[in-house]
């Protein structure tokens, strides 16, 4: 006698199927295109009713398989936010550990040194970030008239949402904690410009971590605090310059911050 599948709501069915699609995508990556994101296979992996599954993906004018694939891709794109959420928590914890024993300048540099390196490593190791980079390459290597316009728009919207989240939940709290503010000539736009520069460099370095020896990118001797040295990554050094390009201490100059 066949095992009776549990009764699920439409939303529960949808979430189970997307989770199964994400698992398949993470297992195969983009090596075989989107063939791994298969609704029939997801129905089996998620152990949901086939009729319920197809009822969820029954948008007029779009096949259930195509609709399912796009939903999985959108989730994968949005999952990049989880990397930043984890990083935000690390910044808060690190600042709490250092603030009581270091000068403001030392705290700033140590937070930059550690969190910037963690960020680029997390991006390099994230299946969601790898997928987005692969999708961009695929979309932009396709003739413009053949591109899936809806997917292009979804990716652009996701990027805007991620930028807004990064600025509001990471950069602004970090600036407040470290006692820095936008340079007058940039105003509030400093956050957007800083995020744009930092994310471009981060994604570039992430790809280099897939190709080069991480030790060559991570172990640079650089003065982190007065009277001592610590290993810096190339990305951390560049990120420090990005911050100083668009921000200044709340009082005085960078040279006066001790």
| Regions of the chain with pLDDT less than 70 | 1-6, 29-35, 60-61, 223-229, 256-258
Same domain, 69 and 83: no
Give the tens place of pLDDT for each residue, 68-102. 888 888 887 777 788 788 888 888 888 888 888 88
Q: Please give the residue range of the domain that contains residue 35.
A: 10-73
Q: What is the pLDDT of residue 177?
A: 84
E-strand spans in the chain? 31-34, 180-182, 220-225, 228-232, 247-249
- Of 26, 55, 73, the last residue of a domain is 73
* Residue 181 placed within a domain: yes
* Residue 3 placed within a domain: no
Please tell me what DSSP assigns to residue 252. S
* Residue 255 placed within a domain: no
Q: What is the DSSP string of 16-66?
A: HHHHHHHHHHHHHTTEEEETT--HHHHHHHHT--HHHHHHHT--TTS-HHH
Q: What is the pLDDT of residue 193?
A: 97
Same domain, 64 and 121: no
| Number of domains within the chain | 2
* Residue 5 placed within a domain: no
Q: What is the pLDDT of residue 1?
A: 46
* Residue 257 placed within a domain: no
- Of 35, 53, 73, the last residue of a domain is 73
Are the C-beta atoms of 151 and 70 separated by less than 8 Å?
A: yes
Same domain, 45 and 89: no
How many Å apart are CA 178 and CA 158, to the nearest integer? 28
Same domain, 83 and 45: no
Are the C-beta atoms of 201 and 217 separated by less than 8 Å?
A: no
């Amino acid at each position: 006698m066949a095992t009776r599948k549990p009764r699920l709501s439409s939303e529960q069915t949808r979430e189970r199927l997307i989770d199964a699609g994400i698992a398949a995508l993470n297992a195969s990556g983009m090596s075989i295109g989107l063939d791994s994101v298969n609704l029939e296979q997801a129905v089996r992996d998620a152990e949901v009713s086939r009729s319920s599954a197809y009822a969820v993906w029954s948008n007029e004018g779009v096949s259930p398989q195509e609709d399912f694939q796009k939903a999985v891709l959108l989730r994968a794109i949005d999952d990049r936010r989880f990397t930043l959420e984890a990083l935000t928590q690390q910044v808060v914890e690190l600042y709490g550990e250092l603030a009581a024993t270091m000068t403001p300048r030392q705290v700033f540099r140590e937070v930059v040194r550690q969190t910037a390196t963690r960020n680029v490593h997390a991006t390099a190791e994230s299946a969601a970030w790898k997928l987005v980079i692969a999708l961009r390459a695929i979309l932009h290597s396709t003739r413009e008239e053949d591109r899936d316009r809806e997917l292009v728009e979804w990716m652009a919207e996701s990027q805007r949402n991620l930028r807004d989240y990064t600025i509001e939940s990471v950069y602004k709290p970090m600036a407040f904690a470290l006692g820095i503010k936008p340079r007058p000539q940039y105003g509030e736009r400093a956050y957007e410009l800083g995020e744009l520069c930092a994310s471009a460099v981060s994604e570039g370095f992430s790809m280099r971590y897939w190709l080069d020896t991480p030790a060559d990118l991570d172990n640079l001797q650089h003065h982190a605090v007065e009277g001592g040295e610590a290993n810096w990554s190339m990305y951390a050094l560049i990120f420090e310059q990005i911050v100083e390009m668009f921000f200044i201490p709340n009082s005085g100059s960078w040279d006066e911050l001790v």
